[in-house]
Structure 1
């Protein structure tokens, strides 16, 4: 390779990488007309409970901003592309124009001939619809692009004739320039290329993708074609293959974005005319003529073609499975040859494919791809959350409390769209649980696009949105770990553009624990007027914390007479050693019995279970009943209250059960 060829390769690579970067940055711009909804929220603690207040919503609509990018860039001192061309040849220089604004736009196109020693003839701009780098029949000459959406690109060719009178060493610099139709202040100039006249061999190389748009996970076929458009035979160069020197016109192509997961498809490399296929697993440092048994290790392919007489052509194809991020993927191939007299030349060609991926993803907080490593964080309410893969779990939550999970949504695709949030049917939370969604640090989610499903608003490609998932556990929730299945809120997200493309993450409570657990039973289901009923009431501190200032109450139905017996004094622990002392009192005003725990501190220890008994007779006449319809009955309400001090502060917990006798 000559020093000049090395410089050209560097310029081409730099220019196209810059073009790719501009597309990636563009994806962060909100489209014109986007409705951005914002609200503020404050969290505070009062008497040990966490409270959250939310402000009103503020709306902002994004105005149009226009922009244009043409790549590769170049100046006369550092042209973006250089081609060797014989006298009488047709020059064809590929460019890519991208709408870098946030609104639809068209662009006017012109060419400016700079310093030159030959005058390009019939210069025009072609819409390269198939992206193969050559003007084909049916591809129109244009002076203005069609309407391009935000982030959309169009491949262009600057095409002209080299006069037959041109001599070796003649040159011409040409600049492709563009201007926004919507905003004439937005232009792109200094996209200069150079055409150099040669009467030696000259390989023109092109590269294209089939199809030009491919879904993530799909397969694209790269097609690389070359033609000797020069006046002399193009000879091969020497390449070491399996350690042995082999001569041929050497075409090489790295698997683009190999580090991002793109992979060569086994058995797909072929060339015409037949030559020597080559594979590399070290980026082209060494080559082998035997395809590796594991195609995933192939990160570059090559082919050695025989000498090419003037006008002769060659081509190679290979397939690649696409796993790199969504967006425009630009790839560069090269061909090295001897143009005559031992002068080794290298020509390069760029091809591009647009990778489609509208899928949004959701995962644990800061791990939207579902690749959490098993680390922990503490939630706003003090719960310890563990993030593993696509699961966020807390070891326990208490009945009556709320578990506050945080999930991260990411738009990994290249479509700007609202993303809906809902509870997936695979959720196993029983009736009584309430799950709500809100912005983390903001207000509740709303339906911004009117499809009837709450969403996080418009999400840009690559943008992350954090949401809070509040799982409220009812007071009467079943305790335990749900027979090992745990308590799972499965969160489903889907892009509004295609609701079938969805993703799930799981927010799990391993175990439901309780503070008070109460049970009340009566010795019969039916009774006659004047019958004596015996109520047996058990209470338990089901938490791991002592309950202070405990008080237990049984409100009797007015269909019962004044109690004849009430448990009073020492209550033994049915779950082990120890006891507590209660003082019972009866109030005629509200017909209730209250047991105050008179042990020091009024404490019911963790795990303590005790039994209280009340005996009372049914009233003598129906007219004295409190509940007469639909059938005469008596109802009792049994409740317990006390102070619990887990992490986050002291809270007072009330629990109540009831029963009835007809």
Structure 2
């Protein structure tokens, strides 16, 4: 529920006789800075509130009247060490400065204009102020002279200060206009410099169109540069405004907002200046070829205030430079502070009405926590305290974090931040009647409070919930055996338990296989967890599949049980225990290979060793799955030959007593086409007599393959180009190659396209690769492609030998430049003709359009050197594009059409 300073009303506080008093005071205060911003004469009221038995009573009001405060604000600022403006004028001449004066006070005031100077050897002959009516920073004919100005609250005007220099003047003079209030308050830190001599002198002024501003608001900046000297300022003249400075934190350039009447705009992306606007603009500058005496240039742009911007002053500094002169100016911008907050149910702090109430049915003997969210919806940091009104006698309330720790107060929140927390009532005995209470969050800055309501509707007896567990196997199990547990929860209460957490901690002797109903295994704590809702008057059945670890010794007892907790159950409930006793059986398996590095055609010798380390005799089956590029050498196995089954080598019925081992050797040849690594895996399975015990093991061995001179090289090449005819194929002279595009391979290799748009990756491993065109280096979107994935910037390519994967891009219409164009319209027919340049010659493009059917239509196009091209249609309707190419110099002729009506 959103809260700001309320509008007070007057009531007398009363107390009902014989009633139980539950009261809290709500002090409504306004911040001093709000009084400062209010107009003179504004009345600020303050009032207290009390809650008695759920009724709100208000005290008498206290009134405060805002006094008048005069604040002149003249810009650009400047001091003796760093003048805000500079100009050059001859002795006996006139120097001009442009200023902006704003009434930043809280009512209308009369401001007197004067000036002061530093300790220079000469004094101006005259200093006059003129009202800059058209705000062009120049003194124009008819603009009135002023010595004082009456301005309304927030009103601003532009002024021109004209300084007449005496004939004996020399050196430099620092002079500042002064704006004075009736009470003597002055703005006098606006020094500008006058240098006696000849030459250019740049003057720079900057302004904003709104001050102060708030979050999510945009603000416009305007820069005016003027040559106030006596000679032309040679170019280039740069008017630069950097936006990536800490002084502008929270403001970002508004895309496409920059404009200038003259000169050209350039954008800074953090590394380079460019005439193309980048995605992230870090700075702006206006580039001028020069400025004549008195000439002015203006450019403007807008910035967006972010939603989470902190209040306070922002300073924007701009500079104007040329080879002969420079100037700088700055403008101050205030981000207004807004204090507001909201407290409500979790995830919905701004809830109102019925949505701002929570109701719960709780379990006897268990603490219960209502979940809430507190939001700082203002743009300034604030602190908050929590208060509870209406709790029954003997019921305590504590505040906790969502993790269960004690919540420290007061709570401090940055602008836009939220805090999720719990308001927890103490354990209640069975039969406690229903009750409700109000929870308030009070602002430390304004004193305003936002309440939300929590209600306990029913208290139920927890002992009726039953947890039961059993297993499908046991009480005797063997290592490697699968076991399925059944977890059952009976809830006979008419109460739905939300956010239920069921946990089953597995001993180290158990391996997790699967869990029903979305159960998740955490390997760190070896705990299986279910997050679910337990419906009222329901029975929940869960299943958990595990496997007894193969290395468990004999006679180990595995004890297992599960627990249940929820948002309503702080102290967990525990089920009965299930015990399994282990009868051990285990099998070890090892695989070796020699040599470790080979070439195509070489022979490999593999060794398999299986050992029964268990307690029971085992009948073992070995199954070896080699790489497809390995071929078994028949008769090479000892002491017994395997059976070949679908490329696998199988040995069966190998008997191993406890502690016994078997060792097998065999050879395989490396076939052509093998990759850089060959790996094969062997699996052993051992069964005891009668199948009471089962053991299994897996082992693998790998070798490195050195590529020979006859190995097929794998090379991926392609081209990035603008596809004019959208056929997906590169056509020289028609399509446009894109140089400098970045192409990235799946292994991290990168390449930039050459002048013809080509890229290549050499010495690859054969197989499927992903190659991506970096979107930032591709100015236009990709066209559909058979290998494209997603938006088309990524291709999935099978690389075998020399493989080609091109990136055709959509060619913009702006790249086709018509040297000449003509349009013919008559009746329903429209004919346009364009000449497009080619590398050699030019292309004629004719476009016919008609909404009606035209019979026996003939188009005749004269050729520049004589002759004509003719096109005939028995019946024409719709749109048709005709092209043909010519050599020589483009020359536009006028086409003719004729048709007949039936």
Please give the range of the TM-score, normalised by the shorter of the 2 chains: 0.3 to 0.5
- Higher share in strand: 2
- Max Rg structure: 2
TM-score (structure 1 length as normaliser): 0.45
Higher relative contact order (CA 8 A, sep 6+): 1
